[in-house]
Structure 1
């Protein structure tokens, strides 16, 4: 088994997604968009998500991003760039 396969076996993508969805629901489930509160909500979502991930005690570094915007038909364009070791690092993208 090479290092990439080992990484995939240890990194539980479904669990990461579940933690993210639960955290988002915790803060936004019954909320309406409020521009004045978005900064606070984003901070709470990211802080809670990273705290929950750290409780797993896995030997990983986590990077999380959160974008909140009003659902009004406006487009969103975003771009990210990362540099990592293909043998031991990876990513999961969820939209």
Structure 2
């Protein structure tokens, strides 16, 4: 398991975070086909649910969650992020999820509260 931490109480498991995010995506989208009319609601609900679930872990971190939902088509999507932070205490991960009609990418940034 990949972790970063200051001490045992403040450790953060990326695997646990990824599991939470995948469960949030599946809860919100729940097997639906892509719908442009629903995409905005999905993204808002996914980021809110992810942030709430991550905060309920009770760790001393702030969470920033972003979400992109797009239809599966012959188009590319390129994303990048750059952060200036403490590589020992802060981190990030991305979850890529898809079904037969859409892609969903969720980025989570974890920043230690001192």
Larger Rg over CA atoms: 1
Query: After the TM superposition, which residues 53-64 of structure 1 pair with which residues of structure 2 at under 5 Å, given as runs?
Result: 53-64=54-65
Matched residue pairs, number? 92
Q: Which is richer in helix?
A: 1
Change (3 A) 1:94 1:30: closer
Aligned to 1:32: 33
TM-score, scaled to structure 1: 0.83
RMSD: 2.0
Residues in 1 aligned to 2:70 and 2:6: alpha-carbon distance in whole angstroms: 33
Q: Which structure 1 segments of 5+ residues have no match? A: none
Q: Which has the higher strand share?
A: 2
Normalised by the length of structure 2, the TM-score is 0.71
Match of 1:48 in 2: 49
8 Å CA contact 2:28–2:42 kept in 1: the answer is yes
Q: Is the 8 A contact 2:4 2:13 kept in 1?
A: no
